[in-house]
């Protein structure tokens, strides 16, 4: 394990969670979300699991933040639930919802933790999904309205704010692959969602700037695109994957342009005059967040665009079946710095692994997670030494939680959660990180 003293003195260590994955959505007057109905539909989520109870963080947040602080973390990344605050997505505000985030914020500050907020981590209010969700061009404005409500309450106390977690998941995974809510498989829906999510990002940034909120960023996810061999058509498939996954959203936000390799597939389905939105999408921001977990091995597939086939790779894998490839994190940090952010601070806003964790005699031996985190923190250190302005690293996740379509089977936490009793047990990785953060 690394030591804190290996990193620059102002480098921040944190851990991350999201609202629907831990809070317990049934509490506090929250409205229905598209994850509730997606999860209630057989075949979408393992065990039909949903976020109604999750980790009951809604009632246990003090205990959970005690764990964050006791580990020696500097910052805590959390998200706000749109439907908890505005149950129908527009209109009446649920004061209980706002009060919850107000209390959560104060509880972070009381423990010396810097609050790092994400406004949207995937749970669209059902009433807005009924109106087309991310496919609806009104969504950017509605998201801006939600942003103002949240920030008027807690914005003054935030260390940093990002509008949307992982736009690739919101756009592609949810509307092209159908793996996440709303579970669509439609290229027109995908194209519109990919564009509108960026318009919503820009709208939220502009509204927050107007309110005087500081330290605004964007959080994108990245997956290393590895061709299975040197055959030109397999390399071309990997390049298309890279463009869709890793370059589309970054291109829009930082370079006001979409890659040709993506436009070749989606341009016919984008909204009219999409090019006119780049000044909004590319509104300046203060930092960029990289979420990184794995690589994919890619080859050509006959048939329709994007002609990509994913292949099983040779590297060690996590419980998600994801290959462990820490060099990919180094590559993305360098690329982000050199091609997109050009000197802005970069944070690794998510990194971690699912492991087959269980409590035995009060202990959880998750050595694999410890190795995974150490390897990725070394990749971060390598980039720091090359002069990249890396400002922090967040472990995903504080707690075992609701892993979306995989239900509660996959455990990503530094802290084990018994979902029957809600008992928290810090794992070995938590205890070792705690030692490392003291050195």
Site for ligand IFM in 206-245 (CB under 6 A): none
Q: How far is the CB of 221 from ligand IFM (least distance, A)?
A: 6
Under rule CB under 6 A, residue 166 binds ligand IFM: yes
Under rule CB under 6 A, residue 123 binds ligand IFM: no
Choose among 383, 307, 300: nearest CA to 345.
383
Question: Which position among 18, 44, 203, 341 is part of the footprint of ligand IFM (CB under 6 A)?
Answer: 18
Choose among 190, 198, 141, 140: nearest CA to 166.
198
Q: Which is nearer to ligand IFM, 166 or 331 (CB)?
A: 166
Q: How far is the CB of 264 from ligand IFM (least distance, A)?
A: 28
Q: Which is nearer to ligand IFM, 18 or 50 (CB)?
A: 18
Q: Which is nearer to ligand IFM, 22 or 153 (CB)?
A: 22
Question: Which position among 331, 350, 400, 432 is part of the footprint of ligand IFM (CB under 6 A)?
Answer: 350
Instruction: Tokens for 365, please give them.
Output: 């031996």
Q: Which is nearer to ligand IFM, 21 or 160 (CB)?
A: 21
**Could you list the active site residues?**
166, 350
Site for ligand IFM in 19-58 (CB under 6 A): 21
Q: Which is nearer to ligand IFM, 147 or 405 (CB)?
A: 405
Q: How far is the CB of 291 from ligand IFM (least distance, A)?
A: 5
Give the total of residues touching ligand IFM (CB under 6 A): 8
Q: How far is the CB of 412 from ligand IFM (least distance, A)?
A: 6
Q: How far is the CB of 428 from ligand IFM (least distance, A)?
A: 20
Q: How far is the CB of 402 from ligand IFM (least distance, A)?
A: 8
Under rule CB under 6 A, residue 291 binds ligand IFM: yes
Q: Which is nearer to ligand IFM, 234 or 401 (CB)?
A: 401
Write out the residues near ligand IFM by the rule CB under 6 A: 18, 21, 166, 291, 350, 396, 403, 412
């Amino acid at each position: 394990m690394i030591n804190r003293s290996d990193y620059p003195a102002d480098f921040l260590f944190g851990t991350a969670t999201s609202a629907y994955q831990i809070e317990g959505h049934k509490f506090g007057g929250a409205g229905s979300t598209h994850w509730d109905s997606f999860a209630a539909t057989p075949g979408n989520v393992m065990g039909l699991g949903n976020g109604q109870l999750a980790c009951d963080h809604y009632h246990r947040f003090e205990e959970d933040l005690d764990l964050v602080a006791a580990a020696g973390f500097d910052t805590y990344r959390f998200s706000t639930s749109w439907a908890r605050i505005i149950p129908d997505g527009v209109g009446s505000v649920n004061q209980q919802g706002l009060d919850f985030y107000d209390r959560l914020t104060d509880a972070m500050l009381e423990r010396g933790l810097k609050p790092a907020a994400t406004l949207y981590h995937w749970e669209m209010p059902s009433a807005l999904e009924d109106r087309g969700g991310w496919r609806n061009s009104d969504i950017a404005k509605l998201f801006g309205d939600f942003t103002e409500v949240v920030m008027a309450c807690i914005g003054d106390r935030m260390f940093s704010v990002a509008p949307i977690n992982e736009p690739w998941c919101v756009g592609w995974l949810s509307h092209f692959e159908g793996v996440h809510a709303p579970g669509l498989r439609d290229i027109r829906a995908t194209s519109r969602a990919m564009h509108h999510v960026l318009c919503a990002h820009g709208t939220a940034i502009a509204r927050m700037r107007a309110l005087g909120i500081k330290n605004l960023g964007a959080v994108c996810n990245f997956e290393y695109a590895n061709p299975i061999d040197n055959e030109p058509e397999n390399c071309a498939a990997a390049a298309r994957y890279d463009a869709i996954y890793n370059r589309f959203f970054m291109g829009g936000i930082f370079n006001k342009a979409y890659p040709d390799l993506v436009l070749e597939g989606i341009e016919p389905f984008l909204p009219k005059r999409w090019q006119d939105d780049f000044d909004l999408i590319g509104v300046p921001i203060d930092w960029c967040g990289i979420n990184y977990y794995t690589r994919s091995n890619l080859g050509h597939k006959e048939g329709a665009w994007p002609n990509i086939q994913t292949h099983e790779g040779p590297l060690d894998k996590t419980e998600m079946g994801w290959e462990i490839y820490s060099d990919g994190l180094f590559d993305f940090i360098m690329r982000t710095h050199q091609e997109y952010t050009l000197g802005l601070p970069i944070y690794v806003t998510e990194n971690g692994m699912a492991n087959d964790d269980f409590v035995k005699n009060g202990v959880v031996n998750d050595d694999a997670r410890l190795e995974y985190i150490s390897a990725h923190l070394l990749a971060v250190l390598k980039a720091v030494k090359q002069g990249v302005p890396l400002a922090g690293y967040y472990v995903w996740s504080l707690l075992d939680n609701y892993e979306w379509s995989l239900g509660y089977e996959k455990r990503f936490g530094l802290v084990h959660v018994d979902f029957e009793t809600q008992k928290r047990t810090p794992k070995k990785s938590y205890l070792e990180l705690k030692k490392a953060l003291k050195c």
